[in-house]
Structure 1
Amino acid sequence: MGSCIICGTDVEGDGRICRSHQEDVVFDFRGNSPDQLVANRFYRGVVDGYADFGVFVDLAPGVTGLLHRSELDVRLESLEWEPGDDVFVQVTGVRDNGNIDLAWSIRQADREFRGELVHDGDSEWLPTDQADETEATDTAVETEPVEATSETEQTETAPTETEPTETADEPEPTETASEPETTETASEPETESAVEAAAEPADSVTASDERVTVASLGDRVDETVRLEGEVVSVRQTGGPTIFELRDETGVVDAAAFVEPGVRAYPDVVVGDAIRLDGEVERRRGDLQVETEALAVLAGDDADAVETRLAEALTAEARPEGLQPLAGDEAVAGLGEGLLDAAEAIRRAVLESRPIVVRHPATADGYVAGAALERAVLPLIDDAHEQSDAAYHYFTRRPTDEPVYGMDAATNDATRMLQDRDRHDEKLPLFVLVGIGSTTESADGLDLLSVYDVEAVVVDAAVADAETRAQVDTLVSPTLESVDADLSTGALVSSLASAVNDAVRSDLVHLPAVSYWAETPDRYVTLARDAGYDRERIAELREAVALEAYYQSYQDKRELIDDLLFDDGGDLAAHVSAQFREKLETERETASANLVTESVDGVEFAVLDTDAYTHRYDFPPTPLLLDDLHRHHANGDAAATVGIGTDELYVRSTGDLSVRSVASRTAEIAPEADVSTAGRREGKISFLAGERDAVEDAVVAAIADAF
């Protein structure tokens, strides 16, 4: 029976990885048949070539899979892989005809996996276990240091004690090779010496006693330097242990090697203040320090590190001030709250804490989320040396629900705990825009609070008093100051400019995109001055709305970026044309089946959304009801109601409170279990069996309100 190379648990047969860690290891496939591959594992491959529909990747001679363009996290045209490049992919399945389906791997370096194994179809082993025993015997006693045999082992080899002579306390380096040592050599205390070397205090290494900063490492490649900072993450690979170190100027990876797959400095944990000496190198364009010695600091030395980091955070995190886009006075009135939110976001970047942005899957929600993304990603790139840091430290998760409910919160809690336990990541900062400000989100926010997770809520709608006490930072108008024409996209665009003023010019057209009707003149003028006329703004809005609907749980980062920031006009115009065609088709059907009613002189337009809409195709019911009420409510209708199996939406031209309507409906139809499911979207839920009673009660409740 084998044992897992990561956690050490027993594995059936000769396997070397347990079920729970299958996706933490990268495999080097040595088999000869697709049937020998294991689904959901990550494999190293070589780019074979491109086609219009994807990339062909060789996993072994004669074993080639297709990475379809739909599986990529970037556009196929922007992929920088060249034929012959080593890449990492996930095998999602092997078809009956032998075709191999592949998926994108965000991890594109050995160090980003916690281990490495060779798989020949029948068995699996560590790369260092495949040696020819005779050849190992010939090389085991050599003392000349040689270049490591794989990229993951290109750190300095730990010194090995060779003979118990008078100079045994100054061991000679031994040769690193893929072959294992002979039985006789393995009995020597090599591992003990390596561990002793790993525990060596940093002061004993021949390096400058002068501390350097992470920001200066680009000018110190091939030099041995001394760094001091905080450990923000630890990753174990099949070769070295990777410590991510943060000082007051940035973050860098430091690789420490004892032996393949063995944790170096096991007592060092996230949050420790450390001193590290090592040589600066570049690996695939990223800076990395090859650790020669590392020591955990205590007392005054640790206090000095913490003080430097705290002072740097204070100096860098708080923006100098807020300059609302278009000089919006409603936004200016929320200035202190917006500065608090901006400081929390900037602090998370500087602390190497992941940021998770939640927003509705609507045009307004996507504009708000994209504005923050545009501001934060450059800050992450500046703070981290890894080229893919933006994918690790910033996540945008749209939701098709109008509130931050238990479904979204459970998903978020599950992911953050997995990242904490499997990858030693810090718990993230959650930024909820356009959701999370009302009592319907209370349960979701409570779940996050159990783990003492920091949450920032930004919403243009008036927040409930209970929510204000639930989150760390909440930016929302009060009833006294509410500006009815303020959208969340407009509010968050000004927040984004405070987070990163360097991207302000990229954001000026976004507020206008976030409005469906009655866009404030100040934002129309701002967009026009930036080269976006009303027609162009409408195209962007419609294109984002259409893409927001499809794959609503995906951020579609590159696609949204192309639409809002980098599109020359063709993409938005093309998608907008699809939007209009689909909406007009649905509008014609719905308009023909609107039922007009009059109660106490109040006109209503009622639509049976189960019978006269395509509920599982575009447009979504809320967007369709908005359009119907604006253009097809016979002009005189005070309200438009769309009612389905167990939920309905209310649209009104007056100042109508959906909570008041729901409360009155519950009084009239007490058996229907009526509740407000989303105040912002005018959504009310009820028991399906009481639908007829609820329809009559809602009409009566709206009539009472008018």
Structure 2
Amino acid sequence: MGNCIICSREVDGRICQSHQEDVVFDFRGNSPNQLIRNRFYRGVVDGYADFGVFIDLSPKVTGLLHRSELDGRLESLNWEPGDTVYVQVKSIRDNGNVDLTSSIRQSDREFRGTLIQDGTDEKLPKEVNEGNPSEGDEETTHERSAPHSDGGNASAVETEVAASEDEPAADSDTDTDATADAESETEAVADEESGTEVVAQTTSEPETAVDDEPETEAVEEPEPDKPSGDLAEEPPETKEVTRRNIGELGDRVGELVRIEGEVVSAHQTGGPTIFELRDETGVADCAAFVEAGVRAYPEIELGDVVRLDGEVELRHDEIQVETEALVALEGDDAAAVQRRLADAMTERARPDELELVAGDERLEAISEELLDAAEAVRRAVLESRPIVVRHAASADGYVAGVALERAVLPLVREEHATSDAEYHYLNRRPLEDAVYGMNDATNDVTRMLQDRDRHDEKLPLVVLAGTASTVESQDGLEMLGIYGAERVVVDAAPADPEIADTTDVLVNPEAEQNLSTGALAASLATTVNADVREELAHLPAVSYWENTPENYVEAATEAGFDDEAVTDLREAVALEAYYQSYDDKRELVGDLLFGESQEAVAVAGAPADVAADESLAGHIAAQFREKLDTEVETAQANIEHSEAQGVDVAVLDTDSYTHTYDFPPTSLLMDVLHRRGDAAVTVGISMDKLWVRADTDLDLRAVAHDAAENAPNAGISASGLRQGRIEFLSGAREAVESAIIGAVTEQFD
């Protein structure tokens, strides 16, 4: 018999049934049948399969974490073979297979204790280490510092184990009360030799002078079991606490430091509370533990200016501060920190000058707007605000979105110590349409409010590229504004005047020009982060289907991309943009635009007839051409030609003569049909939508307005200006077709 290390209850082992899930086990058995269902175990990633991840729980026992047990996609896991992970045993099958489920707790410190399961025996880490020191290691003997409500410091494992030793539980309670009483007292004594102020560390606000030199303060270590006699008269042990910048913590591992800054997020794990603190040099995770799953320092809220003392540790190659004391600053102390943050923000956020992919007078004419947008993006990174990039699911839209993504990700990694920060602080969400409607806005607002309430996240900066510049997007933009989300719209097509009043920054040329949104966004990206200029040099050329400006052709060529390579990239991205259009496909698109473009590589798993040296982009571009040519051939055979007001018009019934739910999308098909045809006007019409392409610059709103006069009850609406699309009531199809063609041909006069 023994005592539970959590509650001291007598048990056969070291943990009672009710606290099984509060402890993580290091399994050293040799049979799956020795595992205990619902227990949490430390394991090592063995490898991936299509259906999940294999986890070694011991050298002789392996379990499967099935993809259905994951919160997200299997592909989103950043585990590598050999990584230490934490999983829960779901079941042990009769054939010895072990089914695992995921754990939100992914470090020892998030559990209330660690035990070793040697076969069926349960042992304390110190018992194993004392019996055989060679078996001990840092992970097995892990102890975490637990800040009590009075700012004291104790080892969570030591506290829990002490309760299970030979002394009765009642004596343990008495000692704990005495400890709390001792730690709640605050003293201030003067060190006669050094003149340094010595204080007992509490949650009350210590006085700190803010100056240019690092401040040092000696802090008394609380002594819950203070000895009597002569030893009791010795001065308490102290540690010096020096204020440090977060940017230098990588060189301070093992030191007790003081940080002053703003709380940018606070989330509760199954173990400690994780506060994300930002100062003028960066952001760091700070773990505070009171009790597993219980919010530490509940008085500290998002946006508070605080002073935190803690020890710098390295957890899975990431810097983390184990919090020992945390207080909110007020008055002059808070104002001084806020001034430092504001001054640093102003200096770091606004770029000194434009950094264009290639010289372009059209972009220099809107330099202030580009600088304003770049400042908004950089400020969001520095303020630890998430950035949401919305762009159309087209080749041009993807180029724009990916350019911004590639510029921002290095800044996020530089600013945040955690490895998953790039997925947390940047989300790229393609839009199927070129309009940012209420459906999209409702989705974004719902997600940002959930993240704010559940994870104490700040409201995001929303960047809309190649969309949201027409009045059809006004309602969606206004909804974001109601909740205080900052909005930046970047679009090469002329924007409606109303949009300027519903955005914080609008980057837009004043007149119709041969400028793609991809080219515009790429130069915004290089202004945000000049270090990615060479990496993005070929992207503007990729965004053009025809009439690519010479300056962007030259930029791509200098970067090593000839016309054929650029064409392959454009067509491959266009094909992948169509499939899973709401998914960012970050890794795949990154491989297409950056990973496979430097040199041809073999396509993994490609058919035998695919050349061994064919690039990924070339392989997918071949599929693009095959699918597109097949569809165009079918469509051309079923186009009906007519003449209206002396203008040749080609009309295609897209419901009858296209594969509506397969590639290519109707908008892209109409572009190709018009480029390859000889009619002045090409029209595609379905049950309730009509696409129009013409040799003249069309005013689609005027077309819809004039057509509505001739078909007044048809519900005609120019809702898809960027795609040349008009919508109507399906019952009025014939009347609408005639009215639209008449309105279009009138603009040829």
> What range is the shorter-chain TM-score in?
0.7 to 0.9
Per-residue CA deviation, residues 511-556 of structure 1 (Å, 9 max, x unaligned), is: 0000011111111111112111100000000011111111111111
Query: Aligned match of 1:177 in 160, 172, 176?
Result: 160
Equivalent positions of 1:165-564 (< 5 A) are: 175-177=158-160, 183-184=169-170, 185-186=172-173, 188-189=176-177, 199=203, 201=205, 205=219, 206=238, 208=240, 210-479=242-511, 482-483=512-513, 485-564=514-593
Change (3 A) 1:643 1:44: farther
Distance 2:152 2:685 in 1: 81
Change (3 A) 1:262 1:55: closer
Contact 2:152 2:324 in 1 (8 A): no
Contact 1:110 1:237 in 2 (8 A): no
Per-residue CA deviation, residues 346-385 of structure 1 (Å, 9 max, x unaligned), is: 0000001100000000000000001001111001111111
Alignment-mate amino acid for residue 344 of structure 1: A
Contact 2:378 2:528 in 1 (8 A): yes
Contact 1:159 1:173 in 2 (8 A): no
Other structure's SS at 2:583 match: coil
- Residue 56 of structure 1: aligned partner: 54
Instruction: Quote how far apart the aligned CAs of 1:56 are.
Output: 2.5
- Residue 142 of structure 1: aligned partner: none
Equivalent positions of 1:647-658 (< 5 A) are: 647-658=689-700
Contact 1:224 1:280 in 2 (8 A): yes
Change (3 A) 1:523 1:194: farther
Alignment-mate amino acid for residue 627 of structure 1: V
Contact 1:582 1:619 in 2 (8 A): yes
The answer on 1:681 being equivalent to 2:728 is: no
- Residue 164 of structure 1: aligned partner: none
Higher mean Cα deviation, 485-494 or 637-646?
637-646
Contact 2:143 2:155 in 1 (8 A): no
Query: Aligned match of 1:620 in 665, 668, 672?
Result: 665
Per-residue CA deviation, residues 478-509 of structure 1 (Å, 9 max, x unaligned), is: 23xx31x1000000111001000011111111
- Residue 659 of structure 1: aligned partner: 701
Change (3 A) 1:653 1:98: farther
Contact 1:432 1:456 in 2 (8 A): yes
Other structure's SS at 1:177 match: helix
Amino-acid identity (%) = 54
Distance 2:648 2:74 in 1: 51
Instruction: Quote how far apart the aligned CAs of 1:45 are.
Output: 5.8
Equivalent positions of 1:94-113 (< 5 A) are: 109-110=106-107
Change (3 A) 1:193 1:540: farther
Instruction: Quote how far apart the aligned CAs of 1:180 are.
Output: 6.5
Change (3 A) 1:33 1:537: farther
Matched pairs, number: 646
Higher mean Cα deviation, 616-625 or 321-330?
321-330
Query: Aligned match of 1:157 in 131, 134, 146?
Result: 146
Other structure's SS at 1:593 match: coil
Per-residue CA deviation, residues 590-611 of structure 1 (Å, 9 max, x unaligned), is: 1111111111101111111111
Other structure's SS at 1:672 match: coil
Change (3 A) 1:522 1:262: same
The answer on 1:697 being equivalent to 2:739 is: yes
Computing the radius of gyration over CA atoms, which structure comes out larger, 1 or 2?
Answer: 2
Other structure's SS at 1:239 match: coil
- Residue 622 of structure 2: aligned partner: 577
Distance 1:566 1:355 in 2: 24
Alignment-mate amino acid for residue 548 of structure 1: A
Distance 1:542 1:90 in 2: 46
Change (3 A) 1:228 1:653: same
Per-residue CA deviation, residues 556-592 of structure 1 (Å, 9 max, x unaligned), is: 1111111111213311111111111111111111111
Structure 1, unpaired ranges of 5+: 1-13, 17-24, 117-125, 140-146, 162-168
Per-residue CA deviation, residues 387-417 of structure 1 (Å, 9 max, x unaligned), is: 2211111110001011001111111111101
Per-residue CA deviation, residues 304-361 of structure 1 (Å, 9 max, x unaligned), is: 1100110111001100111333211111111110100000000000001100000000
Change (3 A) 1:303 1:684: same
Distance 1:640 1:102 in 2: 57
Contact 2:54 2:62 in 1 (8 A): no
Change (3 A) 1:315 1:207: farther
Change (3 A) 1:302 1:660: same
- Residue 605 of structure 1: aligned partner: 650
Instruction: Quote how far apart the aligned CAs of 1:110 are.
Output: 4.2
Change (3 A) 1:44 1:267: same
Distance 1:656 1:33 in 2: 74
Q: Given the two structures, how large is their TM-score scaled by the length of structure 2?
A: 0.78
Query: Aligned match of 2:75 in 73, 76, 79?
Result: 73
Instruction: Quote how far apart the aligned CAs of 1:109 are.
Output: 3.4
Alignment-mate amino acid for residue 219 of structure 1: D
Distance 1:620 1:432 in 2: 22
Distance 1:100 1:628 in 2: 56
Distance 1:27 1:651 in 2: 64
Cα RMSD of the aligned pairs, angstroms, is: 4.1
